[in-house]
Amino acid sequence: MPILLSINPKDMIMSSESGADNWLQVTEVAEMLDLKEVTIKRYAREGLLNGKKENNEWQFLTSDIEKFKAIQAKL
């Protein structure tokens, strides 16, 4: 017997208004979170922010930054 899953649309989170997930640079993330660039880089190194390092530059997904921002707002 197959298992049926029900997903409540209210539980779904869109990563951005258009539904597309874009890569952001450190400067953009710093502006979004109102933090210094050095802090963003440290958070990425320590694993507090999800990101990837490409060509020696950090990049972050918009959805990851929005999630981080939402969590920080609750603190």
CATH of the domain at 69: 1.10.1660.10
**Residue burial 7-37, b: 16+ Cβ < 10 Å; e: rest:** eeeeeeeebeeeeeeeebebebbbebbeeee
Residue 16 located in a structural domain: no
Expressed as residue numbers, the domain containing 68 is 22-74
Which pLDDT tens digits describe the chain residue by residue (75 residues)? 444 444 444 444 444 445 568 999 999 999 999 999 999 999 999 999 999 999 999 999 999 999 999 999 998
pTM: 0.71
Q: State how many domains the chain has.
A: 1
